Amino acid sequence: MSSVSTSNFKTGMAIIYDGKTWIIVEFQHVKPGKGGAFVRTKLKELRSGRVVEITFRAGEKMEDVRLEIKNLQYLYNDGSTYHFMDTGTYEQFELTSEFVGDAAKWLKENEVAAVQIAGGEMIGVEPPMFVELEVVDTDPGFKGDTVQGGTKAAKLETGAMVQVPMFINNGDRVRIDTRDAHYVTRV
């Protein structure tokens, strides 16, 4: 394992601290008027998912954990388990709904999702940045509704709820930015 200095911290980086693997959620370099500089961090523990705030001295070294992204095809959900497959080796993986978390509302069968791996262990699922989904339930638009008008709630085929313009109807396909659940365009 290689080591990394606190001055090289990046959001999303994985480190080993106190014998456990942590993901850096956010960090801030602080240089007070007197005293030594330090780095204030929020770290998420890999196994438990708990988030803690830890302060390190500037220049302190930690063990670095290599992060990998593996693109896996989402096959199906049987209620409590999500099934993925590596399209190169046809190896299948079962991930719990707690592990998949909020990414589940953007996963569509047979689509590819990025699974993050740290130190040989899966740590999270990232859906594609943009998804195209069908609107299955929304209130009808009325004559006089304009493109510049307000928005309304719409339920998508994956169960996700998003705000869409008034002219969107049931059966329309929309492109959604999964980072903030924001409507992009009708497709």
Q: Is the pTM of this model over 0.85?
A: no
- Is residue 104 domain-shared with residue 148, that is, in the same domain? no
Q: Which neighbouring-strand residues pair with 52?
A: 43
Give yes or no: residues 136 and 160 share one domain.
yes
pLDDT (tens place) for every residue of the chain, 187 residues total: 588 998 899 888 889 898 888 888 899 999 988 888 999 999 988 777 788 999 999 889 999 888 888 999 999 999 889 999 998 899 999 998 888 888 889 998 898 998 888 777 787 888 888 999 999 999 887 655 555 667 889 999 999 999 998 888 899 999 999 888 899 999 8
| 86 in the same domain as 59 | no
Q: How many domains does one find in the chain?
A: 3
Q: Amino acid identity of 100? A: V
Q: Which two tokens stand for residue 171?
A: 């059966």
Residue 100 is classified by DSSP as H
CATH code of residue 15: 2.30.30.30
Compute the distance between CA of residue 151 and CA of residue 127 in angstroms, rounded to an integer: 25
Q: Are 51 and 25 in contact (CB under 8 A)?
A: yes
What is the residue range of 26's domain?
3-65
Which residues in 66-181 belong to E strands, given as ranges? 67-77, 81-85, 92-96, 112-118, 121-126, 130-138, 151-156, 161-165, 173-177
